[in-house]
């Protein structure tokens, strides 16, 4: 884009006739043409973009009522079904361009449909790692690696790498991201963006290629500002019969919506707990500790009262059960075999791939092979049985128990210390080099994804490499409105 648009400034310019939706679309395309050969964020462009932009201009000229994102450029993560465009999951076996077979949905996923109904200019679909199985990068994608737009030598964050890079590079105002284990938080922080990881069940994730669709997967926005992210969440959130678990979110939206709930002075008098060994057994790097100390000074200046390591002695950190290869707890992802089969069934018999059985037959590969991208799940005791009986409703009693344990302890500590939320560095160290085998070392990914808690990531500086340092605000279930107010208040002193 040729101007630092926000949703509000762009829609105001469109309403005043200072620019057209078609001109905005052409600016985005020009930016992509200039940068994406290097950054590799967008893997499937929307060939109907200009036609759709002209239709918005005609509707605006006719005085029709338009949605809140009419003419606003938005990028869609590859795993989200977008009618007529292939969903590849970063896997060569599901991309005709890489010698595989295309999986082309006939209908939009609910989140894409909501963006379309809001008038967004859907620029296209963005790069992901194979099966969304990396929270660090998209290096193994059939389309090749995506670069970090602000620190090209550093990991961009995954699995929503392409959406974050496209927003950070100025192609779009909003990127649709999805998280199972850090895939909104990590790329947002690494590329200096705002990211919202919503409460599980607030935003529908049906029609999105799952990694833990029944237990952990959430869709949320990445954006340059807190307000833009909040406006996007207002579009995305809410019940749909296509995703029955979203019934849990009815009545949880703040009056006036998420954007309308942002108020100045939100941090004054609020008690925020700080990251410590009681939360996670993992120290901050010296660079992270210094950046976090500066951020804490800013929070105190805004009137927040900060409580050191309120989870000390609670047993919270001891709930984690990391796998051998990564400091990551995958519990809940055991639902993926059943969830993926159900996702594929929705494509219908006209699709060459319409079940896990047909996926194996057409591709000649089992995505759940021990040597595959999801091979780490074989460390989970119950996973072999779930693979063998994937058509049966999976027994997720162990996951339910650990979610209850996390929520019980979280709520107890919050009440004991009279906390309004938690704030911590989103990562324990700067992002690794792009092709390093090291993962992004986050602080709260496993905990809040297993518990289903919300989180808002907001930029709070840069590491020496130029990669982003982000703060993460988290709090009780359904507290997105409060967390967004905290993030907006902090953002105001860093702009």
Catalytic residue positions? 77, 159, 183
Secondary structure of residue 16 in the 3-state scheme: helix
Neighbours of 402 (CB within 10 A): 17
Chain position carrying tokens 């990396």: 134
Residue (of 372, 371, 370) closest to 383 by Cα position: 370
Chain position carrying tokens 């159900």: 342
Contact 116, 224 (CB under 8 A): no
Q: List, in sequence order, the alpha helices (H) in 156-276.
A: 161-168, 185-190, 226-236, 257-260
Q: Chain-centre distance of CA 47, in angstroms?
A: 25
What's the maximum distance between 2 C-alpha atoms anywhere in the chain?
A: 64
Burial label for 313, CB within 10 Å (0-12, 13-18, 19+), is exposed
B/e letters for 468-477, b = 16+ CB within 10 Å, e = fewer, are: bbbbbbbbbb
Tokens representing 241? Answer: 């019969």
Q: What is the 3-state secondary structure (H, E, C) of 390-447?
A: CCCCCCCHHHHHHHHHHHHHHHHHHHHCCCCEEEEECECCCCCECCCCCCCCECCHHH
Contact 444, 280 (CB under 8 A): yes
- What CA–CA distance (Å, rounded) separates 63 from 50? 20
Q: What are phi and psi of 194, to 5 degrees?
A: -90, 135
- What CA–CA distance (Å, rounded) separates 115 from 151? 29
- What CA–CA distance (Å, rounded) separates 125 from 113? 14
Contact 95, 87 (CB under 8 A): no
Name the β-bridge partners of 196: 456
Contact 352, 358 (CB under 8 A): yes
- What CA–CA distance (Å, rounded) separates 347 from 103? 8
- What CA–CA distance (Å, rounded) separates 140 from 376? 16
Q: Tell me the CA distances in angstroms from 23 to 20, 49, 175, one per residue in order.
A: 5, 11, 20
Element (H, E) at 178: strand 174-179
């Amino acid at each position: 884009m040729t101007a630092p648009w926000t949703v509000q400034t762009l829609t105001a310019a469109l309403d005043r006739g200072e620019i057209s939706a078609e001109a905005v679309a052409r600016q985005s395309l020009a930016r992509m043409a200039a940068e994406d050969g290097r950054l590799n964020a967008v893997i499937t462009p929307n060939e109907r973009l200009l036609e759709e932009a002209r239709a918005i201009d005609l509707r605006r000229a006719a005085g029709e009522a338009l949605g809140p994102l009419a003419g606003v450029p938005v990028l869609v993560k590859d795993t989200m079904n977008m009618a007529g465009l292939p969903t590849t999951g970063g896997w060569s076996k599901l991309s005709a361009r890489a010698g595989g077979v295309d999986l082309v949905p006939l209908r939009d996923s609910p989140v894409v449909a909501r963006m379309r109904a809001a008038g967004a200019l859907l620029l296209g679909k963005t790069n992901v790692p194979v099966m969304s199985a990396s929270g660090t990068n998209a290096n193994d994608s059939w389309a090749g690696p995506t670069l970090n737009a602000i620190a090209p030598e550093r990991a961009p964050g995954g699995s929503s790498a392409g959406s974050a890079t496209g927003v950070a590079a100025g192609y779009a105002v909003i990127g649709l991201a999805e998280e199972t284990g850090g895939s909104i938080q990590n790329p947002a922080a690494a590329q200096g963006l705002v990211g919202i990881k919503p409460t599980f069940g607030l935003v529908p994730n049906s029609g999105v290629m799952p990694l833990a669709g029944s237990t952990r997967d959430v869709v949320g926005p990445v954006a340059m500002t807190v307000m833009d992210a909040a406006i996007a969440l207002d579009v995305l959130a809410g019940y749909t019969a296509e995703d029955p678990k979203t019934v849990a979110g009815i009545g949880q939206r703040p009056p006036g919506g998420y954007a309308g709930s942002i108020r100045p002075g939100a941090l004054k008098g609020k008690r925020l707990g700080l990251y410590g060994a009681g939360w996670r057994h993992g120290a901050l790097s010296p660079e992270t500790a210094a950046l976090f100390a500066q951020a804490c000074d800013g929070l105190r200046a805004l009137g927040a009262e900060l409580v050191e390591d309120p989870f000390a002695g609670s047993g919270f950190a001891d709930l984690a059960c990391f796998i051998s290869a990564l400091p990551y707890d995958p519990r809940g992802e055991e639902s993926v075999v059943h969830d993926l089969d159900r996702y594929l069934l929705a494509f219908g018999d006209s699709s060459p791939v319409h079940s896990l059985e047909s996926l194996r037959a057409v591709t000649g590969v089992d995505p759940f092979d021990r040597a595959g991208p999801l091979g780490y799940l074989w460390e989970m005791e119950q996973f072999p049985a779930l693979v063998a009986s994937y058509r049966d409703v999976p027994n997720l009693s162990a996951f339910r128990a650990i979610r209850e344990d996390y929520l019980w302890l979280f709520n107890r500590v919050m009440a004991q210390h009279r906390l309004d939320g938690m704030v911590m560095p989103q990562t324990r160290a700067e992002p690794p080099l792009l092709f390093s085998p090291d993962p992004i070392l986050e602080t709260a990914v496993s905990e809040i994804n297993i518990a289903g808690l919300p989180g808002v990531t907001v930029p709070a500086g840069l590491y020496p490499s130029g990669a982003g340092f982000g703060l993460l605000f988290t709090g009780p279930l359904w507290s997105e409105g409060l967390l967004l107010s905290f993030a907006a208040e902090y953002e105001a002193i860093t702009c």
